Structure 1
Amino acid sequence: MTAPPALQDVYGVPIPPGRPLAQGRHADLLTLGEVRGQVAKVYLAPPPPAQAQKVEELVKVPPHPDVARRLVWPLAALYGPNRQLAGLLLPLLPPQQFQGVRALLRADTRRRSFPEADWPFAVRVGRELALAFAELHAAGHHMGDVRPEHALVSDAGEVRLVGADDYALHLAGRDFAGPVASAEYLPPERQRVGSATGAGADAESDAFGLAVLLFELLLGRHPYAGIQARGAAPGPGEAIAAGLFVDAPQAGPGRRTAPGEWPFAALPPAVQALFVQAFAVPVVPRPSPETWAAALGALAAELVPCARRAGHWQVPGLPCPSCAAEREGPAPSSGEDVTARVQRLWNDVQRVVAPPPSPPVAPVIEAPPLPPLPLALPDKPRGLNHRQQLQLLTWTLRVAVLAALMLGVGLVQRSVLAGLVVPALIVFALTLGRRFAVDWDGLIDRYERWEHDLVRGLLPRRGPQQRYRRAVRRRRAEVKTELAARVAQREELRERYHVENAAALHLREQQALEQRRAHLLSLSAGGSLEALLGRWRERSRQDYLRQQQLSSSGVPGVGPRELGLAVAQGIRTALDVTAERVRALPAPLGRELLAWRRGLEDFFQFDPGAVPRAELNAVQQRGQQHLGDEIETFERAVHAYTNARWDRHEAEISRQLGVVEREIEQYKKALSELRAIKV
């Protein structure tokens, strides 16, 4: 996604493009660097003269008051080098709020993009879409190229029509046709002209495309997509041109809706009649957007929640479409008997009375304290202990040093020089000695280290006092370790109480049973039937795409020249359209081909009847056996739940806590006694 080298407005003021927002078939959507609330739609290739003239007239005319609310009208034209039309300036719709309506047309994309959307939401969006078409027609315009990319929807169900430069517009007294049209939404009369052109757009053409969009919104499938007679696999354009409406009252033999799709019978008769009128052959006047808006408003008021399944909706007196699709789907459900059996077991679970809330702190069973812990020390030796021996040797050494000094001074005083040496030392210390920095603290430290090493060396290392001292220290370490282990065990028991008390145990086992129940209700009796059907569905899809030949009349914007470019890259069928192959083609052509394949994939319907019966039977037998084993396991779990004693762990935890608490007190007292021993 790249922008032109330069963009400018009609006055030549440069408009710097920003980051990309989205890709379209013929243009990219970009933010603007310094402009908020607006975006740039930049064409991938210069538009032809007729289209460029339409865009020039489009930006000159302000939006009609009837379409100003639901139609995103261009603000100005954008130009590239040499004043060539390069795109449009549009108001910005917040991408966090608005998404393409295509995401609502199929169940899988609806769950991803609109997880909260239900059937009433789809009906409301359909009504808003019909009102938007009515406003567009009231302003004298037609969409012409009806397709999901031309409508955005918000999480609140608001609809905005976009891509006005592709519409069939009436501007300045002239009619401007759209550049292309999509075969999936073209009426039969325009299919004969060819879907590559936008000529022939009128209110009847829009009415047909709107009816197709509404059918997809309400039932999640294309009205012409289904199982055709004799294994035929027409594309959407061929099916529409041949009038192969699957739910037509006089549908031919062998034509039917694919299993697992929402049934046409779930719609009210009045809405069914409107669809039959819209897709009738021969063509009759089709319902107008105003008629659709009124009918869908009435349908939205009729919808009620399904009595069988939460989240499902239905019209009173008509089948629930979701339940009907589940019952008639290609993968059989677990069956009414299994559902009833599981529900009976669940009723037994719900009859169990929950225990009262447990105390926040685990109770401790009171018991007499334990006797004092044996210290297991050897007999204390007689005489001085280690500390007393250290003190005795230290003071003995100090007295000896002091006596030696005094003796030395006495000997010096008897000599002739004593009267001269001692006064000289005193005078030197008081006069010249002050000029020298003497580290008295260092001298004292060195003396103390010498004294300490000497005393330690004089003490006996293997005497009874030393052995007793080592035994006391070793016993202290053992008691500390045991005390820490008992404290950790107490915390572990308290945590275990929070998990295994009666209320917590009851809640946890009830939740486990609820998960098993949900698993059983959703479990297919076919076991791996979904995987088998998935393989055959993919095989059938590839066969269908292989049968769709690329032609200049089947893909919008593809003429003989573009067809030659595609064939040169090995693209002859829809199956050949891959991201790798279209990368070598011009961007507009590549995007048209990818959109063509995506539309065919959405149109494709899988027929489970193509799966060999022998494979289905084998898989279903294995699934039935697996389902029976799962139900038996669930029955045993329910029986254990209904006969459980929820306080079975509380008493044991309280007993163990009492033992641990007494042991902690015992070890604390022993440690205090050991610390009181002076060694």
Structure 2
Amino acid sequence: MIQRPTARRWVAALENLSREIRTCSAAGLHRYYGRLGACPWCELEIREQLIFFVRVTPVEPASSGGFDVSEVWQRILAARATLQPPAPPGLLSASAVTPEPLPRRAWISGIVKQAMSVGILGSVVLLIILRPVAAVLWSVVGYWAWWAVAGRPSALDVERNRRKVALTVAEDKWCALQRKWSDLEADAHLERFMERLGAARAQYEALSAEHVAARHKLVATVRERQLLRFLSRFHVEDVTIANFGPAQVAALVSFGVETAAEVERGRLEKIRGSSALLIDQLLAWRWGLEGLFKFDARDAVAADQKALEHWYAQRYRPLAAMLTEGLEELRRKAALHEHRRHVLLVSARVAATALAQARADMDVF
């Protein structure tokens, strides 16, 4: 009866296994059992043209207060730089491989075939010289004999044809890899994607400049509003001016001048019956009240600034999200692009070696 291993034995077995795990030198995400000798994931990805492991670097979402558009844009440009078209793989030189020597049987059969062809030709010529009357007969017999020897493929011819086929297959594979490399470089969607991110960055920076201007304007507008609220507490009916009674008050109210906040030279001059003296007296009354006004910058600006910051945060948020998500998308593209390039490079090395070997094998003829 088989006994179940104890927990201690399980732990020991797993520790031994972890020490046998190796990291692929070509692709850092690949892990494999060290006794296999070579990374099976690389071989599988090359054969199936699939990518099983993609490194994705997460990006922290931007908050309304901590988003730095310049820093994010530099990261976007850095991610974009990794997607630049790489240099295409090159062929190996002839000295990088050793030609496969011809089999002994092949070159011997080639020599024999050539010797037999020369012998037949020499015999026919000799017979024609000795028996010129039968020249036609000797020519026919000689041609038939030569064709019987030269027309039959020798072991050398078979070897040459085999190597020609291997060279054609290697060239076709190399051309197919070159086309795949060109497809890897061409990415029209990437440029349009970068244009959209650039437009979002420009909008964010324009909004930031507008935000700064609004902050500077806020203090001035807050003081003006606070002053108007202060003046609106004083009504024209409470003014104590000589020859200024209910009739004058009614005239002012009918034109919308009810408090000191509405007392303005332009508005007063439009009221029929308002003398220059009365206008000056009312303006002096307002100016006197303005002298009593005290601007409370701390509380007023804080309240209004909170509303201002909230309004701009709503406009910042979609632009910041677009740039942050764009950076994450570029990093995903860069990781996928790098992995595809790695797979193609491994395939290209194999194809380049095969093509160089096939050419070198043909050069021996």
Shorter chain as denominator, the TM-score bin is 0.3 to 0.5
Identify which of structures 1 and 2 has the higher relative contact order when contacts are C-alpha pairs closer than 8 Å and 6+ apart: 2
TM-score by length of 1: 0.20
